[in-house]
Structure 1
Amino acid sequence: MESRSQTWCFLFFFFFLLLSTQTYFCIAVDTISSGQSLTFNQTLISTGGNFELGFFKPGNSSNYYIGIWYKKVSVQKKTVVWVANRHSPLSNDSISSSEFKLLDDGNLVVLNQSKITVWSTNLTLSNNNAMNSTHEVVLRDDGNLVLRNGIKDSDVYWQTFDYPSDTWLPGGKLRYDNITKKPQLLTSWKNENDPSEGLFSLELIPEEKEYVIRWNRTEQYWTSGPWNGQIFSGVPEMRLNFIYNFSYNPGVKESYFTYSVYNTSIISRFVMDLSGQIKQFTWAEGSQSWFLFWSQPRTQCEVYAFCGPFGVCSQGGLPFCTCMEGFEPRSPKDWNMLDFSGGCVRKTLLECGDKDAFPMMSNVKLPDNEKPLQSAASADECKLACTRNCSCNAYAYRSGCSIWDGDMLNLQQHTDNDGDGSDLYLRIAASDVRKSPGGKSKGSNSTGIIVGAAVGILALCLFLFVFWRWRKRQSVGTSKTVVEGSLVAFTYRDLQSATKNFSEKLGGGGFGSVFKGILPDSTAIAVKKLEGLGQGEKQFRSEDGKMLKWKTRYEIALGTARGLTYLHEKCRDCIIHCDIKPENILLDADFCPKVADFGLAKLIGRDFSRVLTTMRGTRGYLAPEWISGVAITAKADVYSYGMMLLEIISGRRNSEHSEDGKIMFFPTWAARKIAEEEDALALLDSKLDGDVNEEELTRASRVACWCIQDDESHRPSMGQVVQILEGILEVNSPPIPRTLQVLGENEENIHFFSDTTSNRSSQVQSTSSASSQTKSSISSTSSKSQKD
């Protein structure tokens, strides 16, 4: 009897739990009805599982918001596509008692802990609809949250596709209200931790059927151009579009554009990014990351006032924004989050008199809102007029005098290659004038003029010498006629003779070995002899086993960067090497680097920005866009170079086997040391015993981390890398690449897969004494070492 009563108690308890569980999931599937609500630990999930709605906390913020994000897309941070209470966040203390509720009157609201409405759809339904208690909210599988009549699905009262935040999803609308004469804006977040409306917005101009991007809802700095029924005139690349189908729908109440995806398996979105650019992303399943497919404006400094008041935008620096001389960031915290909208403020207040200084900013695009002064007929009179005007912040004299007396916006620093800029004289306190290392101000530049003239003369002599050598070596020693700009063809016998029957082997690379040769005109060449596709990759080894000093390593890194710059920017066609790694950098007797092994290289005409090709290269050096199988640019080589540069600095491979058999991925640790701790010395090869130029080490470490950023638009060009390593450009501390951040936080759950042969070889290398001498990123394969 007692046993039977226990059984009944158990069954009662079991059914109670089951009933309670079912009640919870009925609320948190894809629909809520009138009077129901979502709490902190509940979500709506669309029928197909594509999207999820609930409470979320962006970035490092302590505030909570109601939003919609991708459910199936697996990334470290939620990819949020819509936010309800953008300007009314919920505090961490109140989130447990906050609600997302559908009221009986048909309005959808967000309630805080005091049950005060912080966000609402603000609908005024008709009496018949208001009395209808069957309202419901459904999260559809396309990401659209729909408030509708629970009996008649076609009666839609409100939907998120009509009120986007910063993301435009397929099927959504970007519209213009013909009744109120107001556009629906697609507005950027303020920063990664704050989804409130930023300064940049995309809107529709119905008269021209075009989209424009505005700064602060006023200043237009980009337009798509008018719609001609097929493409926007300012986006000619739409002619090659094979992903999207755009359409324009004019109406009495509203006019709008919408789009669909031809291949419904492609996950894609448009985002009004906090960088001020409209960006198109597609999901790359292979790399489990978002791939930037298209963006406008193309360069960051084309975004109006991106660096805020008294900020300077430089396309040749990282990050893009700096403060004018004598100024500092208004909010260093915002600048660290790459939110430069607050701009800069003066370090020292002006005294308004002759004691103020006017240092010159050369080769700049002048700020907006200049005021011409007709009364000033010379540069001296222009300066005097600015000095006497206490509100004058700067002046410039070109064909006439111009002054600036308010916030200076949209100042751009041109690169050395672009000489179209002007000189601007900025007014700052005399105490804030930058000093040169010798203690003199920038105005004392007579020594620089003398040195510059001497350098110019030397450069001219060098040019004449190089030209003479080029004229002397016009012929390659063969009887063949060579067309200028084309490839030179050699017969097998020519190469056999030049390499002395392939007698002097430099090393082995992908699919073959490399031999040293000399042409009849004494030109040294490297010849690769293919030996079979199944051979696999071999690592060059240093024959004399000597450790390269820091100065040599730095010159190798700089020389390699110059070589890649030539391939990317100086050749008639852009050449993407596609397999940059230490094994493909050959060193001569003087340790001068030569970029070798062009077997996987790809040519891109100057009229094209990227090329679609099959994945090629070596694991560990492949950029994320390679793995995702989408079109690549020269930035793929930049990523590989960054990985290689870490190896040059540290003298170790990027992936190594530990004693317990696990694979240690060095860039993950290195990125944290550079970005979070700013400890570049920790990366240095211990065999150098600290014998290093710390300034060069910092530059190299930072630029290496910038090169391996997941988003190719955040990577510098190889030309910028050269300027950074030469000390011409400054480089700030980089962020940790998202992929490496994920690897670091989930290290125990990450598994590396490689073929058995590679694993065995790497294990032998990591445990043998010989390999301990060859872990330097660049192996010396000089002819001198071969002879030794």
Structure 2
Amino acid sequence: MGSIFLSVATFLLSCSIFSGFSFSAPVNQEFIYPNFTASNFLFIDSSGVFLASRNESFQAIISQSGQSKNNFYFYVLHVPSNTIIWTANRDAPISESGKLSLTVNGLTIVGDNGTQIWSTPALGSPVTALQLLETGNLVLLDKSNRSLWQSFDYPTDTIVIGQRFPVGKSLSSATSQDDLSTADYRFSLTSVDGLLQWHGLIYWRLSMEPKAYKDVNSPVAYMAMNATGLYLFDGNGEVVVQVSLSQADFRIAKLDYGGHFIVQSFLNGMWSPELEGPDNDCKIPFFCKRLGLCRQTSGSRSSTCSCPPGFRVDTQTNQGCIPSDSHLSLPSACNSTGNGNSSQLNSSTVSYMSLGASIDYFANSFLDPSAYSINLTACRDLCTENCSCSGLFYDSSSSYCYLLNDQLGSFMSNTGGQNDRLGYIKALAVSLPDDNSLDNQRKQIPLVALVLLPFTGFTLLVMLLVLSFLWWRRRGKLPKTSVVKLGSLKSSLSEDELEALSIPGLPVRFDYEEIEAATNNFSEQIGAGGFGAVYKGALPNKTLVAVKKITNLGVQGKKEFCTEIATIGNIHHVNLVRLKGFCVQGRQKLLVYEYMNRGSLDRILFGNGPVLEWQERVDIAVGVARGLAYLHSGCDNKIIHCDVKPENILLHSQFQVKISDFGLSKLLTPEQSSHFTTMRGTRGYLAPEWLTSSAITDKTDVYSYGMVLLEIVRGRKNCLLRTGSSSLENGSSSGGQPSSSSSGIGAVYFPLFALEMHEQGRYLELADPRLEGRVTSEEVEKLVRVALCCVQEEPTLRPSMVNVVSMLEGGMPLGEPRVESLNFLRFYGRRFVESSTIQGQNTGAEYMLDPQSNASETGTATASNPFFSYMSSQQVSGPR
């Protein structure tokens, strides 16, 4: 009887404490009101649901996560997919009796001992209701139904459709599927990109995603998703970057506990992945834990983990790898005073364990070097004297030093491609024996040994240093006239040269004598341009290079020259020719580039060698577009090439395409720049704005690219006067009537002919006739439509190079060129035909003519008229 009375009393007491709350079943309502209190313990069915959106797509719940038994969270759940989209107390879970309270001051979570675990911030007005919207947004409302606080402003690891993710906010990964506490991976939004980071180190950018393309260059204000994709918007709501996705009613962007940024849609009861970055597990910073080595299985996404040579699994902590040699240990981190392990360095010997070849670190592609133009010894010294340094990578080709500070993550096997970076891990030797022990050992060593051994060791050390010096000097890796160590220059250079060569970011500096020897006294010239000649050379390590001997720069100081070289030397992309070094000595200025063994595109495309197949042309077109897109939007500072043409497109083995001469217009002095503005481009590829003194933007390069693309399609120069028998070259269309583009004898202005064939849908007639039967109309149409979009007269109508890449790769629909913005081609074509007719009658030979000449429309053309003068691309453009 007493027990029954006690149960009833307990029941009544509970009801009085939690008045207004029904615990017999989950509360599925859209609103709750102040003086509401709940805990998971109060729910008889243990569901923990106390609030639901209008259509019950979302629920607010106090419950466990996954298989967790004791950790309870207050979170919002997407019911159809059973996915948590927001968590309040992720870093402070409560027990089943922890309480959530809603008062006029906001929401509060209290633990078992009455300690406040989490709460909403101070609000400007009293709360009248808590509502869960059908978007998944949890909102506190005032008496006027205005929002006082919303969960969308405090994202955890997930955002959903309709949620704004502003610059400055970040998503934080969970520790595991069951443990929702904050872990080490972050997704942050900056004014230019979305970044994945680990301990502050970048390991992926949203702009790296092939589906992402840039519309404008405005600063980003926020990220959001809708039913058609993911977008970065500026402050005016204009799209800056877009990732087009398939139609979906519900989609999330989530930073998972493994460090991947994933966008996926939910359809027919299943998740459909749409974007994942990085696409390689080995690029995840801690995938194989500390110092682990990640290898991706060939032909699959799966990866395996092991330890690098000289390391073994740390069985005590199971958190990665440690040195196999028990006499070596990894240094501890800096202490709070900043001295860190400096005391350890006084009693221990620092050594560096090599990681071996073909091993790289995830952050190297995103980090700026810690030091430039130094040798390996100086790089090691930098690490030794820095208590935060845990290891280093040294790039032997550029003499760049990358320090790995504090936390070390996983390494990745880089079996494919060339990698000049070698990694070293900082290790500490065990303490030396004490003094008494050393004295006892000395007593046992004969006197003659005590004399001879140090002398012999000293002699060997001196010989080793001399040989090392000669070897490094022979390879050109150790500058003869300056040594950079710990941020200071010890040099025999003049003060002006010292100031110039101390500019951060400079590539390897060669002595003039070294380049003279590498090129065999400049004996093999392989090209020439407006800035000077280009010579083939070979460095002491047998690396082939192309040396550009600059002779036409005018007066320009060493510091200004080196500043621009530092900018160019820091640009690295697979489709850009790499600047390997430079020389500035006296009046001599030379640039050392990687050597491209197949030469320039014009020689292959227009020469008499084997014809380029269609897919090879497409690959070249895409490669050039990617390189220009990187110059325009992937660099820290936008670079406009100003001279895009086949002569500046170089090819390597397997037709790997690289753009040359980017940024060289920076080397012009202000006087040269003002006097030779049009010499920054080549006739036939110059955009109309060059001729009207309009602003020169990245869209100028887009125009030149479009002209090059048309030449890739046809396999001939766009402006060609030729006596031939083909219908195109004789100026007649397939119907037998002369084309307006080619009414002159043997005259063809191909861009206009391409426009006419586009209007008639006869794309196959534009393809290189040597490819007959090996290309389809649809394939030609894609390149022609992209090219015509690029050469529109109005720059704002031209697509960005990022969009060009996306169109060529199928990531976005092909653009539709506006005919009214291409009518200027008819004027160009008429002038070309009129002039070429007279020129053809005079000589009957093949000529390159330029409709962009300043000749009069009605003038009587003569051989002396400037309209007919042919200025070669070598004379007009920069070096190549």
Same fold (TM over 0.5): no
**Shorter-chain TM-score: which interval?**
0.3 to 0.5
Larger Rg: 2
TM-score for both structures, normalised by structure 1? 0.40
